[in-house]
């Protein structure tokens, strides 16, 4: 059978080369190529699904708490953790009140801030010591004392400012 096919091709080779494929065959080939050349379009809901997935992925990635071995005050004692939060909010409130008077008494405010800066540095040093201390409870106890001192000093500073303002009122009348 292959001999018959080979013989037919040899006999009709010239006619195949002269005529070539028909125009109808070329048009079908072009139509198929055009179909393959078109890219599949992604619909709007698919884009929105992709965007939502990316947004969700980034949200999860950035909201995960980094895993560190850092020891917090609450890790040592829940009571100390509550105290730290209480003192921190009290100190922040008093610092805000003190900042309101900064325009009226800038020199006094600078002195007060300088005093508090030293205590802040001491507190940060204690936080670092907590990470390596063999007795974390003693360090946390010192940290609570520091916060209590800061709160007391801020109360005294606010009291001094109130006295200064009262003195100024009495002397201007």
Nearest to 154 by CA among 95, 76, 88: 95
Query: Confidence class of residue 65 from pLDDT cuts 50, 70 and 90?
Result: low
Query: Taking the complete model, does pTM exceed 0.85, yes or no?
Result: no
Tell me how far apart the 2 most distant CA atoms of the chain are, in Å.
Answer: 130
Query: Confidence class of residue 17 from pLDDT cuts 50, 70 and 90?
Result: low
Mean pLDDT of 58-78: 75
> Which helix (H) or strand (E) element contains residue 100?
helix 78-100
What residue spans define the domains of the chain?
2-63, 73-172
The tokens describing 85, both together, are 């939060």
pLDDT one-digit tens code per residue, 76-120: 788 888 888 888 888 888 888 888 877 777 887 788 888 888 888
- Name the average pLDDT for the chain: 81
Residue 145's pLDDT is: 92
Q: Are 146 and 120 in contact (CB under 8 A)?
A: no
Burial of residue 139 (CB within 10 Å: 0-12, 13-18, 19+) is buried
């Amino acid at each position: 059978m292959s001999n018959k096919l080979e013989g037919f091709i040899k006999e009709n080779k010239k006619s195949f080369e002269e005529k070539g494929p028909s125009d109808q065959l070329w048009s079908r080939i072009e139509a198929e190529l055009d179909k393959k050349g078109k890219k599949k379009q992604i619909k709007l809901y698919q884009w929105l699904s992709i965007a939502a997935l990316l947004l969700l992925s980034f949200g999860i990635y950035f909201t995960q708490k980094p895993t560190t071995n850092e020891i917090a005050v609450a890790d040592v004692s829940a009571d100390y953790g509550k105290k730290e939060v209480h003192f921190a909010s009290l100190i922040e409130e008093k610092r805000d009140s003190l900042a309101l008077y900064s325009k009226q008494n800038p020199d006094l405010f600078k002195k007060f801030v300088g005093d508090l800066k030293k205590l802040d540095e001491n507190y940060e040093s204690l936080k670092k010591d907590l990470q390596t201390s063999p007795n974390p409870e003693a360090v946390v106890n010192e940290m609570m004392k520091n916060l209590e001192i800061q709160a007391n000093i801020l109360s005294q500073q606010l009291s001094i400012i109130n006295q200064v303002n009262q003195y100024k009122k009495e002397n201007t009348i």
